Amino acid sequence: MEKKNSDNKNKYREKGEGQKNERKHVLSSDDRNCKSCNIAKKCGGCRYQGMSYEEQLGIKQKEIKKLLSPFGDPEKIIGMYYPYHYRNKVHAVFGRKKNGEIISGIYEANTHRIVPVEECLIEDEKSQEIIRSIRDMLRSFKIKTYDEDTGYGLFRHVLVRRGFKTGEIMVVLVLSSPILPSKNNFVKALLKAHPEISTVILNVNDKKTSMVLGDRNIVLYGKGFIRDELCGLSFRISPDSFYQVNPMQTEKLYNIAMSFAGLDSKNDKNNEKGPVVIDAYCGIGTIGLVASKNAGEVIGVELNKDAIRDAKINARENKRENIRFYQGDAGEFMESMAENGGHADIVFMDPPRAGSDERFLSSLVKLAPETVVYISCNPETQARDLKYLRKNGYEVKNIQPVDMFPWTEHCECIVKLTKKAV
């Protein structure tokens, strides 16, 4: 195993790192043992409620060790200094109790029953406040909530996304129809209660579906998107595009990914122009854009059309001229690149929970980049894919878990692989 930056160790003991809402206060043991959440069981989101944060990190470390130690020794997990209210994206489903009272909350795990939520320990507090205000406004505006069984009613969900660095806030009202009665007064009242809101969007979802957002967005106020900043770059976020939910940890994650790739500073030793980098499963282009500062050329590939549109705008607005984005399946893209004799020095891959597929992995092996940095939110599928890569000419150099989702059982992990010498 390569020796790694020792300053990555014990980060969760450090004070907030400049992000506005990483609180600068000292945690008491009470904080770490978490004020209990009385709906944790029904919600099912925070499986580690009732445990201290240290215990949670210990469990995640063990899990990563169990799955990834066949490939090398994982480093100590990087936790959060203040592991609360880290989610920058808050969703609430709206409905009614039998007595007619309007409620907002989450679906009870594996059901379509709504559990009312007043407060959540991991979601952004301001976003929760806005959702409570909207719930009160539905009463005064006499707007009916949507009934999943009958398909009657209007108001389905609210999604609030917040740029923690910029303070910009997006409110998405998900309705079963494009017509919101007294629309202008409703938006006016919402902005009066929360002048900090940057944009309000009406999303139309008229299908019987468990998906929150429908296809159509109508901007009611502002620009229809927000911006946030990561690693010194500015990113545009649309209602439906993927953006990491824990921006404090995301910066740490990306910094490690850059150092694994040797892109944390300019290094022109081997290649005058700088390395050719692929950012596979690139979302709105965050990793590729951060990498582009110290790379020769970057190519990003992503399936989601909206995310690619945002990625292209992000490149333009951050004045990065050495990056291109393609919309499509990452495996298909890699295959055609390998078949056409393309070349890459470094590949970042950050697939969804299901992991990558053989089409991608076999083309990656054909393309034969010197370094692969594999970021994953599911160590099980990551272990499966690492096995394939190890069998096909790569060796694991570093394994760094990062806790992006405190109080839940999920864990992110970055692995550096290099091509074995033949």
Return d(Cα 195, Cα 114) in angstroms, integer.
Answer: 29
What binding mask, one character per residue, do residues 347-366 give for ligand SAH by CB under 6 A, x or -?
Answer: ---xxx--------------
Binder among 276, 307, 361, 417 for ligand SAH (CB under 6 A): 307
Smallest distance from the beta carbon of 422 to ligand SAH, in angstroms? 30
Which one of 11-19, 142-150, 193-201, 301-309 is the stretch in contact with ligand SAH (CB under 6 A)?
301-309
Q: Is 100 left (phi over 0), alpha (psi -120 to 50) or beta?
A: left
Map the footprint of ligand SAH across residues 327-346, applying CB under 6 A: 329-330
377: annotated active-site residue: yes
Q: Can you list the alpha helix ranges (DSSP code H) found in 262-378? A: 286-292, 305-317, 330-339, 358-367
Q: At what angle do helices 183-193 and 125-141 cross, to 10 degrees?
A: 140
Which one of 84-92, 161-169, 204-212, 299-307 is the stretch in contact with ligand SAH (CB under 6 A)?
299-307
Q: Which is nearer to ligand SAH, 186 or 374 (CB)?
A: 374
Q: Quick check: 314 binds ligand SAH (CB under 6 A)?
A: no
Residue of 108, 211, 110, 189 lying closest to 143 (CA atoms): 189
In this chain, which residue has its C-beta nearest to ligand SAH?
Answer: 283
Q: Quick check: 238 binds ligand SAH (CB under 6 A)?
A: no
Return d(Cα 407, Cα 37) in angstroms, integer.
Answer: 11
Amino acid (one-letter) located at 121:
L
Return d(Cα 366, Cα 339) in angstroms, integer.
Answer: 8
Return d(Cα 144, Cα 188) in angstroms, integer.
Answer: 19
Q: Quick check: 303 binds ligand SAH (CB under 6 A)?
A: yes
Which one of 2-10, 62-70, 123-131, 298-306 is the stretch in contact with ligand SAH (CB under 6 A)?
298-306
Q: Can you list the alpha helix ranges (DSSP code H) found in 91-223? A: 125-141, 183-193
What binding mask, one character per residue, do residues 275-294 give for ligand SAH by CB under 6 A, x or -?
Answer: ------xxx--xx-------
Map the footprint of ligand SAH across residues 250-269, applying CB under 6 A: none
The active-site residue, picked from 46, 377, 411, 413, is 377
Q: Supply 229's token pair.
A: 């900043």
Longest dimension (CA), the chain: 72
Q: Which residues are catalytic?
A: 377
Footprint of ligand SAH (CB under 6 A): 242, 244, 281-283, 286-287, 301-304, 307, 329-330, 350-352
